[in-house]
Structure 1
Amino acid sequence: MKKIIFVCLGNICRSAMAEMMMRQLVSENGLDSEIDVQSRATSTYEIGSKPHPGAVDELKKHKINISDHHAQQISRQDFDEADVIIGMDHQNITDLKRMAPKNDVRKIHLAYQVLDQDKVIEDPWYDHKFDRTYHQLKEVLPKWLEILKDEKSDGN
């Protein structure tokens, strides 16, 4: 089974939204038994917190299934088990690379890297533009799913 982990600072906005949106994409493609989707934080600020109400409201608008989510910090076990770790912005990438065991740094990618862009998934915690976050994630997640499906079919 392939494992993808989405990561942001607190794991209550961007990465939580990415997890729930990607889980729905995985399910719609009949890949629930082949791709595991998780999300984590780089910080301890929000550990145990539920997703931000703005994130939940935005996902509900788009009929995305809301899972029982509580923020967690990324762990050594996560680095070991993940096939792909997706950071939402440049600071997430810096923090992840600092935290990761040397052999796992290659698993870390910026979300927009999949579209050959250096853009970031902007943090709605500050400006409450959860619709922007939704649309940015909607742009990149199908491409990440394609990559996971291609790796699965290659036997990697």
Structure 2
Amino acid sequence: MTKVLFVCLGNICRSPMAEGLMRQYSEEHQLGLIVDSAATSRWEVGNPVYPGTKQILQRENIDSSHMFSRQIKPEDFEMFDWIIGMDHENVEDLLAMAPKQARHKVHLYLEGVPGKENQKVPDPWYTGNFDQTYHLLQAGLPLWAEKFKMETKTD
């Protein structure tokens, strides 16, 4: 079973939105993924999903009541097959934290989206544009799902 961890700075906006959307996508397409999210920082540890993200998830009929910010842990690099950062800073932080043998697991979320390969998912905490974040995350779901399926076939 493929295990995916989405990561952003605080784990209250982008990464829990990605977690919820991918979990739902996995269920709808019977992918059997294990999906979680985490933060690179400790700033929001223990806090619930930010209201703008909660509103998007509710609109999509995704329960966020069990989602609370947590910081990435060393064992996450062993447990998860894919560790996907929302922006370049997250990816750099993850690569700095990752043991050498786990660095290949770290990816930028939009790297597989044609025309957006080197772009970040903007942080709606700063932009206030939660719909923009939602649309960018939605664009990546089928592409990531395909990568996860291909990995499963080669295992």
TM range (shorter): over 0.9
Q: Do structure 1's residue 41 and structure 2's residue 39 form an aligned pair?
A: yes
> Structure 1: where are the runs of 5+ without partners?
none
State the Cα distance separating 1:102 from its structure 2 match: 1.0
The superposition leaves residues 78-136 of structure 1 with CA deviations (integer Å, 9 ceiling, x where unpaired) of 00111111000010011001111111111100011112510110000012110000000
Aligned to 2:150: 150
Corresponding pairs, count? 153
Q: Superposition pairs for residues 10-89 of structure 1, below 5 Å?
A: 10-32=10-32, 35-89=33-87
Whole-angstrom distance in 1 between the partners of 2:126 and 2:118 = 21
- Counterpart of 1:59, as a letter, is L
Alpha-carbon distance between aligned partners in 2 of 1:30 and 1:3, rounded to the nearest angstrom: 14
Q: Structure 2 regions of 5+ residues with no counterpart?
A: none
Contact kept? 1:18, 1:137, Cα under 8 Å: yes
Equivalent position amino acid for 1:120 in 2: K
Structure 2 partner of 1:102 = 100
Report the AA paired with residue 24 of structure 1: Q
CA distance in 1, matches of 2:138, 2:40: 22
TM-score, length basis structure 2: 0.94
1:92 and 1:123 map into 2 onto residues whose CA distance is 11
Matched, 1:136 2:136: yes
Structure 1 stretches of 4+ moved >6 Å: none
Quote the offset at 1:21 in angstroms. Answer: 0.2
Identical columns (%) = 45
* AA in 2 matched with 1:7: V
Q: Distance in 2 between matches of 1:50 and 1:67?
A: 8
Query: Are 1:20 and 1:67, in contact at CA under 8 Å, matched by a contact in 2?
Result: no
CA distance in 2, matches of 1:123, 1:113: 17
Deviation at 1:151?
1.2
1:153 deviation in Å? 2.1
